[in-house]
Chains A and B, each alone.
Chain A
Amino acid sequence: MNKKQIINYLIAITRIYLALVFILSGLDKINNLEAFAVSIENYKILPIETINIIAIVIPWIELVAGALLLIGLYIKENSLIITTLLLIFTVAIISAIARNLDIDCGCQGTFDGQKVGILKLIENFSLMIVGYLSIKFPKQVLTYIKR
């Protein structure tokens, strides 16, 4: 195995990790829709009327994009969706920190587990790097489906 192949495998492993994070996150939110809606509400960014629709849709985007990314279907497109979601979540967290909101993060399936803060930001930035690598180098390595 040459250096390039090793790099491709490493990117694929991080892609699988990213996919699993989003699948678990999506499932957790789907099982706790009201809790997720409350988490969104706590950020005090969106009009209250829009919160439930977002709470209903976002977990399924996470689950579907995560599942497709896991099996290696439309790697670039699904990585783009996931990275965009991460970017939105990160902006929300930064905004919460800037407003001194000491709240539950409500992200990535961590209800009652993580609050908004620098650690969460570092975690999100790391995942965004993984997402970016999958967008930039969407190699068909460790995939269930070959296109």
Chain B
Amino acid sequence: MNKTNFKVILAILMSSTFLGFIYNFFSSDGIDFIRKPILVKSVSISEENGDSNQLRGIDLSQAVEIFNDNSATFIDARDQWEYSDNHIIGAINIPEFSFDPSNKYLVKLNKEELLIVYCDGDDCDLSKRLAQKLISLGFKNTYVFLDGFNSWLTAELPIEKGKLNE
């Protein structure tokens, strides 16, 4: 039997790496080589927060207050399955990884509306990335719910399941 030629394997891996870098460099959809963590400033919504281009985050207690006041639209940035398994009552699903600026929920939202974006928790970046995109589209009153859905679940706050937004 032929022996495995590890030089060939190395050559294939190196060529693929080279092609990947070249393609990424010239592609209009190319991404940064180094992914950067997104910084969020913890704020209180009741205060005036000044620079709305800075990504702002709220904690669980504020999220609950806003939820009880019914004064904001909650946006679930997770994928469709996580959303359909469980989500905050009334939240709409705009998955970050398939974000489309012409999303049917997005076009119905008022640019001045208070939007609370969440994903699993504080180690999840989906909500931050989606919030960035929403702010760049002009939704200046967008906040990240930093403690996320896990804290909501732990606090046994109202959730619903199985309502996959079509």
Which A residues form the contact surface with B (CB < 8 A)?
30-35, 37-39, 41-42, 44, 48-53, 55-57, 59-61, 63-65, 68, 74, 76-78, 80-81, 102-104, 111-112, 115, 135, 138
Give Cα A76 to B24, complex, Å. 29
For residue B24, which residues in chain A have a CB less than 8 angstroms away from its CB? Answer: 33, 56
Q: Cβ of A41 and Cβ of B81 under 8 Å apart?
A: no
B59 adjacent to chain A (CB < 8 Å): no
Which B residues form the contact surface with A (CB < 8 A)?
2, 4-5, 8-9, 12-13, 15-17, 19-21, 23-24, 27, 29-37, 79-82, 85, 95-98, 123-126, 129
- B85 CB to closest chain A CB, in angstroms? 6
Query: When A and B form their complex, what is the total count of cross-chain residue pairs whose Cβ atoms lie within 8 Å?
Result: 107
For residue A55, which residues in chain B have a CB less than 8 angstroms away from its CB? Answer: 31
Give Cα A63 to B17, complex, Å. 11
For residue A138, which residues in chain B have a CB less than 8 angstroms away from its CB? Answer: 2
Supposing A56-B21, A56-B24 touch, asked if A63 and B16 sit within 8 A by C-beta, the answer is: yes
Nearest 7 Cβ contacts at the A-B interface: A60-B20, A60-B16, A61-B16, A52-B35, A38-B97, A57-B20, A56-B20
For the residues of A in contact with B, the DSSP-based class is: helix
Supposing A76-B4, A77-B5, A77-B12 touch, asked if A37 and B35 sit within 8 A by C-beta, the answer is: yes
- A62 CB to closest chain B CB, in angstroms? 8
- B122 CB to closest chain A CB, in angstroms? 12
Q: Cβ of B79 and Cβ of A115 under 8 Å apart?
A: yes
- A56 CB to closest chain B CB, in angstroms? 5
Give Cα A86 to B86, complex, Å. 30
Q: Pick the contact of A59 from B2, B20, B123 — CB < 8 Å? A: B20
